[in-house]
Amino acid sequence: MISSDESFGVKLKSLIDKNLPDSSLSADVICREMGVSRSSLHRLVKEHTDLSVNLFIRQCRLERAKFLLKTTELRIAEIAELVGIPNPQNFSKYFTEAFAVSPTEFRRQKPESESITPDPAPEPALIQPITDPVYTPQPEDNLPVVVHKRQYRYLIAGVIVAGLAGLALYVWLQLGRQHHGVSSLLGTNQSIAILPFKNMGPTDTGPLVEGITDDLHTVLSLGDSLKVVARTSSDQYQNTKKSIWQIGDELQVANLLKGSVLKNGNQLQVKLELIRTNDDIRLWAKTFSGSYNDLFRLTDQMGQEVLQQLNPSGVQRTQTISRPVPTTNTVAYNAFLQGRQLMLTRSEDKLKAAISQFEQAVQLDEHFADAYAYKAVCYQLLIDMGYQTGQAIWNQGKQNALTAIQFDSTNSTAYATLGSLYANAYQWKQAEAAFRQALRHNANDAQANYWYSLLLRSVGRLKEAMTYSTKAHTLDPLYPVILTGHVLNCAYAGHFDLASQTLADGKLLFGDSFLYAFGQSLTALAKDDYAQAANAYREALRLNPNLTTQWPSLYYCEARLGQPAHARAYLATQPETPQILYNKAVVCAGLGDQVNCLRYLRQAADGGYVYRDLLVFPVFRPYHRNPAFRAILRQYGLPDSLPATAQISSGL
């Protein structure tokens, strides 16, 4: 006789099996379908499998995938979709963690009947036999049937469900003992993302809500060994309908922090909830109240208490985290918040308006370091976006960054901005010193990690560049700019498998963006695959016609493929500014015209311009041993050759 718990297990496993293709299957759905409370479901699953409900669902998906890999010829991506894990990267990661072998390697192994000792057969009394009626073909069965690909997949899934239904209870009882490596699926507790806080007050308090969220992010980022996902990624979940498990899965974090803010007159009320992502359990919640004048004390208190919840044994350590109060002038802080809000679109007029707001803030509080730092960021963005050029605006950015550091020697934003400004001016040593200071004061700053990786790439330290762009991508996994930069670091270092895998992982995220095509083009270019590179450049230019700096690279590829018409036309029609002279050098390299290539490079360099990645750009590989090329590198403070390890990995 089957006990009530065992009967529940059979029903639960059957329900999960029938809904495996549905990636939204969750504890809430199961509770609704089976008519049980969330706590009862959690207790029963925990007792039988020692897993949370979500991890049990995931393990069922992986067991099904294991079966399909051995018994069908379906592609791995199709199997991943059939079992409800449509993201191939996540599917491969979960499968490897559960079974200590990748899906590809598992499929290559011998059939289970040859290499795996079968488990003992389940008790016959516990198996419910399934008897299908005998089917007699009818004349209508000869009619042609059109089955769409997706229908075909679900048809296979249905057949498999029927075939495995008799083993439902056995799997239920065995999973608790067979979840190889499942504990690793829980991940580390030392990771968190802050979801966009809700504004419970009038619309005009929106910048304040943003400021509190950002300030709390800064406090948490100062925690030792804590991964705090950058807001560029976490802000994408504004008003999301995705489940806690899905968000945690996509951001690869163990915890989410949700919050709401209400400002009533001069009083603030902030409600926080800390939620564990693998089972959607609320670990902690608290309401903080105080005067708007005590805002920074309040956010520090919130941050310290969240850190304590994440690491109860490290109370003494987390209490040592401190930072200067940004400002005691609430009017100055309001102007600062308005400036931060204006920066978001990065348009020229909004950046200039933001500078005015930051200027107002420092007039009200001349020691307001963050206002100086973000004013420097605006000047840097005006340069990077191509809105303004020249020594004067560069000096403005540098001076504001240095002023911020003068008033707050731990201001990581100011150091990172200063590093980027120095790098744009080819002042590599000063840039590295600034970036190191930025990361010393905030190792969780995704942007600083990314910018530092770009500097390391420019000076040929490609292995280090990959290390820092990997960390930046981990901290900001949904930001296409960082993902593309990481792809380039991998490709230039000769790690084409990693570059291709990163592109594949990011396809769902930004496959329709020019950045994706741009990453494809440079990866192909690094492999000397000129046909693929040319196609990718054309796609990038189709998606973003303003990407005019990439036309010469396309003409380079065409010339290498024996199609020189566009390259020759470009050389004949374009003016000779320093930037265009450099572009002409690229085109001449494609034509195999070494003399004119080096002549144009020399003229561009003498005019004050070289491409920051000149040392590692694949176009100029054939010139690395040329004395004239090396002289240009030295002129701009770059090493005149790549390190030996970089040369080997890049095939030089």
Which tens digits make up the pLDDT trace of 458-512? 999 999 999 999 999 999 998 898 999 999 999 999 999 999 999 998 888 788 8
Residue 541 pLDDT: 93
Residue 643 pLDDT: 66
Residue 530 DSSP class: H
How much is the average pLDDT of 18-35? 83
Which residues contact residue 398 at a Cβ distance below 8 angstroms, ignoring those fewer than 6 apart?
376, 418, 421
Q: At how many degrees (to 10) do helices 4-18 and 168-178 cross?
A: 90
Quickly name the fold that domain 191-323 has. Answer: Rossmann fold (3.40.50)
pLDDT of 185 > 80? The answer is no
Confidence of residue 136 (pLDDT cuts 50, 70, 90): very low
Which tens digits make up the pLDDT trace of 245-284? 889 888 989 999 999 999 888 899 999 999 998 888 889 9
Domain definitions of the chain by residue range: 4-138+147-185, 191-323
| Unique residue bearing structure tokens 């968190």 | 192
pLDDT of 322 > 80? The answer is no
Residue 335 pLDDT: 93
Tell me how far apart the alpha carbons of residues 108 and 70 are, in angstroms, rounded to a whole number.
9
CA angle 529, 532, 536 (to 5 degrees): 130
How much is the average pLDDT of 347-359? 94
Mean pLDDT score of the chain: 82
How much is the average pLDDT of 63-73? 83
Q: Which helix (DSSP H) or strand (DSSP E) does residue 189 occupy? A: none
pLDDT of 379 > 60? The answer is yes
Cβ burial of 512 (10 Å; 0-12, 13-18, 19+) is: exposed
| 95: helix, strand or coil | helix
Q: Give the residue from 633, 91, 331, 79 showing the smallest Cα distance to 642.
A: 633
Q: In this structure, are residues 642 and 650 in contact, taking their beta carbons and an 8 Å threshold?
A: yes
Confidence of residue 86 (pLDDT cuts 50, 70, 90): confident
Tell me how far apart the alpha carbons of residues 405 and 200 are, in angstroms, rounded to a whole number.
35
Q: Which helix (DSSP H) or strand (DSSP E) does residue 153 occupy? A: helix 149-164
Tell me how far apart the alpha carbons of residues 499 and 532 are, in angstroms, rounded to a whole number.
15
Q: Give the residue from 469, 428, 464 showing the smallest Cα distance to 448.
A: 469
How much is the average pLDDT of 632-649? 74
576: number of Cβ within 10 Å: 12
Residue 24 pLDDT: 83
Q: Tell me the percentage of the chain whose pLDDT exceeds 70.
A: 83
Which tens digits make up the pLDDT trace of 509-564? 788 889 999 999 999 999 999 999 999 999 999 999 888 889 999 999 999 999 99
Confidence of residue 336 (pLDDT cuts 50, 70, 90): very high
Residue 587 pLDDT: 97
Tell me how far apart the alpha carbons of residues 31 and 41 are, in angstroms, rounded to a whole number.
7
Tell me how far apart the alpha carbons of residues 255 and 221 are, in angstroms, rounded to a whole number.
14
Which phi and psi (to 5°) does residue 284 adopt? -165, 145
How much is the average pLDDT of 580-585? 96
Amino acid at 391: Q
Which tens digits make up the pLDDT trace of 33-47? 888 888 888 888 877
Which residues contact residue 148 at a Cβ distance below 8 angstroms, ignoring those fewer than 6 apart?
none
How much is the average pLDDT of 578-590? 96
Tell me how far apart the alpha carbons of residues 416 and 384 are, in angstroms, rounded to a whole number.
14
Confidence of residue 314 (pLDDT cuts 50, 70, 90): low
pLDDT of 126 > 50? The answer is no
Tell me how far apart the alpha carbons of residues 73 and 87 are, in angstroms, rounded to a whole number.
19
Lowest mean pLDDT among 19-28, 299-308, 566-575: 19-28
Specify which residues 270 forms β-bridges with.
Answer: 261, 288
Q: Tell me the percentage of the chain whose pLDDT exceeds 90.
A: 48
How much is the average pLDDT of 88-110? 81
Residue 6 pLDDT: 61
Confidence of residue 1 (pLDDT cuts 50, 70, 90): very low
How much is the average pLDDT of 119-136? 32
CA angle 509, 512, 517 (to 5 degrees): 100
Confidence of residue 312 (pLDDT cuts 50, 70, 90): low
Q: In this structure, are residues 644 and 652 in contact, taking their beta carbons and an 8 Å threshold?
A: no
Q: In this structure, are residues 198 and 259 in contact, taking their beta carbons and an 8 Å threshold?
A: yes
Tell me how far apart the alpha carbons of residues 387 and 519 are, in angstroms, rounded to a whole number.
24
pLDDT of 154 > 50? The answer is no
Confidence of residue 419 (pLDDT cuts 50, 70, 90): very high
195: number of Cβ within 10 Å: 23
Which residues contact residue 352 at a Cβ distance below 8 angstroms, ignoring those fewer than 6 apart?
378, 382
Tell me how far apart the alpha carbons of residues 528 and 99 are, in angstroms, rounded to a whole number.
37
Residue 150 pLDDT: 39
Query: Which superfamily does 4-138+147-185 belong to?
Result: Homeodomain-like (1.10.10.60)
Confidence of residue 292 (pLDDT cuts 50, 70, 90): confident
pLDDT of 123 > 80? The answer is no
**Residue 439 CA to chain centroid, in angstroms?**
19
